[in-house]
Amino acid sequence: MTQAQEEAQLCGLVPEENDARFFSQHLAAYAFTRQFVHGKRVLEIGFGQGYGSNYLAETAKEVVGIDSASGNISRAQLRYLRHNLRFLHMNGQKLDFPDESFDVIGSFQVIEHIPEPELPNYLTQIRRVLRSDGVCVISTLNLEHNQKPGQAYQKLCFHEKEFTGPQLQELLGRFFPSVKMHGLYLSFPHRICQRLKKWGLMKWGPRRLNPIARFYDHMGVEAFQTQERISSEALDLFALCRKHPAR
């Protein structure tokens, strides 16, 4: 089996194989979406390892996670057992659900992996299965944040298309009348610790006693904050989409 075939069988972020900061940044998109899912029927497109769908299922009425990587299905089914959580092998561009099936749809760090010519079909499918009063949250990295002034930028080899905030809003606006853009930022304590880390204070003394090291080792989603604005400081972009303008 080639590497590409192996990746097609199994992919996604595994929590225990990544540091707390990296995992918490990814979980922050789910924390933002969780405010909308209480008692709702939820679809996640591209669930990866399954931790996010499980997190949403703590408060949702039902969560259905779909993924095109076949190996992800059995892995998630073995690890996350809830009566209101299902994992299915399905292509996000060919959703096998009736129209208006879900109250909330999330697709996190997925859109950048989809070839640009296929994006219209991906978004059309999302719009089709989203209920008329539902919400869709799409997250991706912030290209403006990743591009450093005066430095050449090369997108990751497995990314097809990366977006700035205005670019993502313009694309999504073709399919959803209401698109509100949010940015993911460091919390104030996180910014302080990051500055102290750059000064080398994280290396002082035993790690278990160093407050900077302990902050990074035990970081959670509270180390990030979501704001309804986009700037180059935003790590990620969260787009809140509706089929009708919000009242």
Question: Cβ distance 180 to 160 under 8 Å?
Answer: no
Two tokens at 8?
A: 């097609």
At 3 the pLDDT is 42
pLDDT band at 164 (very low <50, low <70, confident <90, very high): very high
Q: Which residue has the tokens 């225990």?
A: 16
Strand partners, 89: 67
For the chain, counts of helices (H) and of strands (E)? 9, 8
Q: Tell me the pLDDT band of 133, cut-offs 50, 70 and 90.
A: very high
How many Cβ atoms are within 10 Å of 154's Cβ, its own excluded?
6
- Report the DSSP beta bridge partners of residue 45: 66
Question: Hey, where are the domains in the chain?
Answer: 3-185+225-242
List the one residue out of 137, 118, 71, 125 whose CA is nearest residue 97: 125
Q: What is the mean pLDDT of residues 215-235?
A: 94
141 pLDDT higher than 50 = yes
SS (H, E, C) 148-209: CCCCCCCCCCCCCCCCCHHHHHHHHHCCCCEEEEEEEEECHHHHHHHHHHHCCHHHCCCHHH
> What's the pLDDT band for 244 if we cut at 50, 70, 90?
confident
CB 21 within 8 A of CB 194: no
Over residues 42-68, the pLDDT tens digits come to 999 999 999 999 999 999 999 999 999
Higher pLDDT, 208 or 189: 189
Buried b (16+ CB within 10 A) or exposed e, 59-84: bbebbbbbbbbebbbebbeeebeeee
CATH classification code of 3-185+225-242: 3.40.50.150
Residue with tokens 């989809």: 114
What's the distance, CA 235 to chain centroid?
12
**What would the mean pLDDT of 100-122 be, rounded to a whole number?**
95
Query: In residues, how long is the chain?
Result: 247
User: What mean pLDDT is predicted for residues 187-202?
Assistant: 91
Helix axes of 119-129 and 165-173: crossing angle, nearest 10 degrees: 60
Mean pLDDT of the chain, nearest integer: 90
Question: Distance between CA atoms of 210 and 201, rounded to whole angstroms?
Answer: 8
